[in-house]
């Protein structure tokens, strides 16, 4: 499944056009590599998305062309959610 479609169907990102834009800006990493919107996503892949000032990392558990809202969260497992460290020049 395409990365942009997975992000939309899983409801990590509300719209596919936004998922495409975020990927093109280099804010999505799949298995440690920067990913394009057309990158293929498989079960077991780890996806990290930068949302503003936080990073969200999930593991793909299931692929589906469509889902209902209550089923979307079952498509992935949240691994971690962390703030992006600010570089204040002091090392903390």
pLDDT per residue as tens digits for the range 4-22: 999 999 999 999 999 999 9
Give mean pLDDT, residues 36-51: 96
84: confidence class by pLDDT, cuts 50, 70, 90: confident
* Domain ranges, ordered by start, for the chain: 3-83
Superfamily name with CATH number, domain 3-83: RNA-binding S4 domain (3.10.290.10)
8 close to 24: Cβ distance less than 8 angstroms: no
87: confidence class by pLDDT, cuts 50, 70, 90: low
Q: Phi-psi bin for 26: left (phi > 0), alpha (psi -120 to 50), beta?
A: left
pTM: 0.87
Whether the CA torsion 32, 28, 69, 62 is positive or negative: it is negative
């Amino acid at each position: 499944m395409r990365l942009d479609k997975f992000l939309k169907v899983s409801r990590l990102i509300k719209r596919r056009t936004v998922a495409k834009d975020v990927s093109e800006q280099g804010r999505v990493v799949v298995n440690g590599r920067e990913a394009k919107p057309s990158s293929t996503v498989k079960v077991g892949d780890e996806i990290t998305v930068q949302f503003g000032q936080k990073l969200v990392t999930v593991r793909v558990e299931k692929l589906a062309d469509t889902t209902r809202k209550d089923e979307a969260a079952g498509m992935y497992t949240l691994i971690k959610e962390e703030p992006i460290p600010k570089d204040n020049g002091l090392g903390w």
